[in-house]
Protein backbone atom coordinates (compact mmCIF):
# COMPACT_ATOMS: atom_id res chain seq x y z
CA UNK A 1 0.00 0.00 0.00
CA UNK A 2 1.22 3.50 -0.79
CA UNK A 3 1.99 5.84 2.09
CA UNK A 4 -0.10 8.70 3.37
CA UNK A 5 2.57 11.40 3.80
CA UNK A 6 4.81 13.47 1.58
CA UNK A 7 7.20 16.35 2.13
CA UNK A 8 7.18 19.66 0.27
CA UNK A 9 9.02 22.95 0.20
CA UNK A 10 7.77 26.19 -1.29
CA UNK A 11 11.06 27.27 -2.86
CA UNK A 12 12.70 30.72 -2.64
CA UNK A 13 11.36 32.00 -5.99
CA UNK A 14 7.76 31.27 -5.00
CA UNK A 15 8.19 32.75 -1.51
CA UNK A 16 9.78 35.87 -3.01
CA UNK A 17 7.03 36.05 -5.64
CA UNK A 18 4.31 36.17 -2.98
CA UNK A 19 2.82 32.77 -3.87
CA UNK A 20 2.79 31.07 -0.45
CA UNK A 21 -0.93 31.64 0.03
CA UNK A 22 -1.98 30.50 -3.44
CA UNK A 23 0.17 27.37 -3.22
CA UNK A 24 -1.23 26.44 0.21
CA UNK A 25 -4.74 27.01 -1.15
CA UNK A 26 -4.00 24.59 -4.01
CA UNK A 27 -2.63 22.05 -1.52
CA UNK A 28 -5.73 22.33 0.68
CA UNK A 29 -8.28 22.31 -2.11
CA UNK A 30 -6.68 19.13 -3.49
CA UNK A 31 -7.40 17.35 -0.20
CA UNK A 32 -3.93 17.34 1.34
CA UNK A 33 -3.90 17.98 5.09
CA UNK A 34 -0.98 20.03 6.41
CA UNK A 35 0.45 18.13 9.41
CA UNK A 36 3.69 20.16 9.79
CA UNK A 37 4.75 23.54 8.45
CA UNK A 38 7.37 26.25 8.98
CA UNK A 39 9.30 28.98 7.23
CA UNK A 40 13.05 28.62 7.43
CA UNK A 41 16.24 29.19 5.49
CA UNK A 42 18.66 26.48 4.38
CA UNK A 43 22.37 26.90 5.01
CA UNK A 44 24.74 25.87 2.22
CA UNK A 45 25.59 22.63 4.04
CA UNK A 46 21.91 21.87 4.65
CA UNK A 47 21.02 22.42 0.98
CA UNK A 48 23.97 20.24 -0.11
CA UNK A 49 22.84 17.53 2.28
CA UNK A 50 19.17 17.70 1.28
CA UNK A 51 20.07 17.43 -2.43
CA UNK A 52 23.06 15.07 -1.96
CA UNK A 53 21.58 12.61 -4.48
CA UNK A 54 22.18 15.27 -7.18
CA UNK A 55 25.81 15.94 -6.15
CA UNK A 56 27.27 14.82 -9.48
CA UNK A 57 24.73 16.66 -11.65
CA UNK A 58 25.95 19.71 -13.62
CA UNK A 59 23.30 21.94 -12.02
CA UNK A 60 24.18 21.01 -8.41
CA UNK A 61 26.11 24.20 -7.49
CA UNK A 62 23.40 26.39 -9.03
CA UNK A 63 20.71 24.39 -7.22
CA UNK A 64 22.41 24.88 -3.84
CA UNK A 65 22.92 28.60 -4.52
CA UNK A 66 19.28 28.98 -5.52
CA UNK A 67 17.90 27.02 -2.55
CA UNK A 68 19.92 29.20 -0.16
CA UNK A 69 18.95 32.48 -1.88
CA UNK A 70 16.02 33.15 0.45
CA UNK A 71 13.57 31.58 2.87
CA UNK A 72 11.54 28.47 2.08
CA UNK A 73 8.34 27.06 3.56
CA UNK A 74 8.65 23.40 4.51
CA UNK A 75 5.59 21.22 5.12
CA UNK A 76 4.49 17.63 5.61
CA UNK A 77 1.27 16.74 3.81
CA UNK A 78 -1.14 13.91 4.48
CA UNK A 79 -3.44 12.21 1.97
CA UNK A 80 -3.95 8.69 0.65
CA UNK A 81 -1.30 8.02 -2.01
CA UNK A 82 0.36 11.30 -0.96
CA UNK A 83 3.69 11.06 -2.83
CA UNK A 84 2.24 10.22 -6.23
CA UNK A 85 -0.78 12.53 -5.96
CA UNK A 86 1.40 15.46 -4.90
CA UNK A 87 3.80 14.89 -7.82
CA UNK A 88 0.74 15.06 -10.07
CA UNK A 89 -0.42 18.30 -8.42
CA UNK A 90 2.98 20.02 -8.80
CA UNK A 91 3.63 18.94 -12.41
CA UNK A 92 6.84 18.21 -14.31
CA UNK A 93 10.25 19.46 -13.13
CA UNK A 94 10.47 21.78 -16.14
CA UNK A 95 7.49 24.17 -16.01
CA UNK A 96 7.46 24.19 -19.82
CA UNK A 97 6.39 20.52 -19.60
CA UNK A 98 4.09 20.88 -16.57
CA UNK A 99 0.38 20.24 -17.18
CA UNK A 100 -1.95 23.21 -17.13
CA UNK A 101 -3.21 24.08 -13.66
CA UNK A 102 -0.32 22.37 -11.85
CA UNK A 103 1.57 24.38 -9.25
CA UNK A 104 4.71 24.50 -11.38
CA UNK A 105 2.79 25.53 -14.50
CA UNK A 106 1.21 28.35 -12.51
CA UNK A 107 4.15 29.60 -10.45
CA UNK A 108 7.54 28.25 -11.63
CA UNK A 109 9.80 30.59 -13.55
CA UNK A 110 12.38 28.05 -14.85
CA UNK A 111 13.49 24.41 -14.55
CA UNK A 112 15.71 25.50 -11.63
CA UNK A 113 13.37 27.98 -9.96
CA UNK A 114 10.40 25.67 -10.13
CA UNK A 115 8.34 26.88 -7.16
CA UNK A 116 7.98 23.68 -5.13
CA UNK A 117 9.66 20.46 -4.07
CA UNK A 118 7.80 17.16 -3.79
CA UNK A 119 9.24 13.91 -2.46
CA UNK A 120 9.76 11.15 -5.03
CA UNK A 121 9.13 8.11 -2.77
CA UNK A 122 7.64 7.19 0.60
CA UNK A 123 11.16 6.45 1.86
CA UNK A 124 12.48 9.87 0.83
CA UNK A 125 9.37 11.60 2.17
CA UNK A 126 10.15 10.21 5.64
CA UNK A 127 13.85 11.14 5.37
CA UNK A 128 13.06 14.66 4.14
CA UNK A 129 10.40 15.28 6.80
CA UNK A 130 12.83 14.19 9.51
CA UNK A 131 15.51 16.48 8.03
CA UNK A 132 13.28 19.55 8.51
CA UNK A 133 11.09 18.72 11.50
CA UNK A 134 11.43 17.31 15.00
CA UNK A 135 8.89 14.63 15.87
CA UNK A 136 6.99 17.05 18.13
CA UNK A 137 6.54 19.44 15.16
CA UNK A 138 4.61 16.87 13.10
CA UNK A 139 0.94 16.34 13.99
P1 LIG B 1 12.06 17.21 -9.04
O2 LIG B 1 12.16 18.41 -8.12
O3 LIG B 1 10.96 17.37 -10.04
O4 LIG B 1 12.00 15.89 -8.30
P5 LIG B 1 14.84 16.57 -9.60
O6 LIG B 1 15.31 15.90 -10.85
O7 LIG B 1 14.81 15.77 -8.34
O8 LIG B 1 13.40 17.20 -9.92
O9 LIG B 1 15.75 17.85 -9.41
C10 LIG B 1 15.77 18.54 -8.16
C11 LIG B 1 15.72 20.02 -8.44
O12 LIG B 1 16.92 20.41 -9.14
C13 LIG B 1 14.59 20.48 -9.38
O14 LIG B 1 13.36 20.64 -8.71
C15 LIG B 1 15.14 21.79 -9.87
O16 LIG B 1 15.02 22.84 -8.91
C17 LIG B 1 16.62 21.46 -10.05
N18 LIG B 1 16.91 20.96 -11.41
C19 LIG B 1 16.59 19.76 -11.95
N20 LIG B 1 17.01 19.63 -13.22
C21 LIG B 1 17.63 20.82 -13.50
C22 LIG B 1 18.30 21.30 -14.68
O23 LIG B 1 18.41 20.64 -15.71
N24 LIG B 1 18.81 22.57 -14.58
C25 LIG B 1 18.72 23.34 -13.45
N26 LIG B 1 18.11 22.90 -12.33
C27 LIG B 1 17.56 21.66 -12.35
MG1 LIG C 1 13.38 15.03 -7.04
What are the start-end ranges of the H helices in the chain?
12-16, 20-29, 44-50, 60-67, 82-90, 103-107, 122-132
- 111 Cβ inside 6 Å of ligand 1: yes
Q: Is 117 a catalytic residue?
A: yes
- Which residue range is the domain that position 96 belongs to? 4-137
Residue 132 sits in a domain of what CATH number? 3.30.70.141
The single-letter DSSP state of residue 32 is: P
pLDDT at 2: 83
For residue 105, the model assigns a pLDDT of 98
Residues 6+ apart with CB under 8 A from 101: none
Per-residue pLDDT tens digits for 71-119: 999 999 999 999 999 999 999 999 999 999 999 999 999 999 999 999 9
Give the number of domains in the chain: 1
**Which of 114, 124, 128 has the most ligand 1 atoms within 8 A of CB, as the residue to mutate?**
114
Tell me phi and psi for residue 34, to 5 degrees.
-80, 115
Pocket test for ligand 1, best of 63, 72, 90, 91 (most atoms within 8 A of CB): 63
CB 64 within 8 A of CB 78: no
Q: What pTM was estimated for this model as a whole?
A: 0.97
Q: Over the stretch 10-66, which tens digit does the pLDDT of each residue have?
A: 999 999 999 999 999 999 999 999 999 999 999 999 999 999 999 999 999 999 999
Amino acid sequence: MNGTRTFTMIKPDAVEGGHIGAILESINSNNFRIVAMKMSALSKVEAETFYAVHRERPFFADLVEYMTSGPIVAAVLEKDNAVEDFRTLIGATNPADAAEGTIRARFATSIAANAVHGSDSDENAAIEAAFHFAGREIF
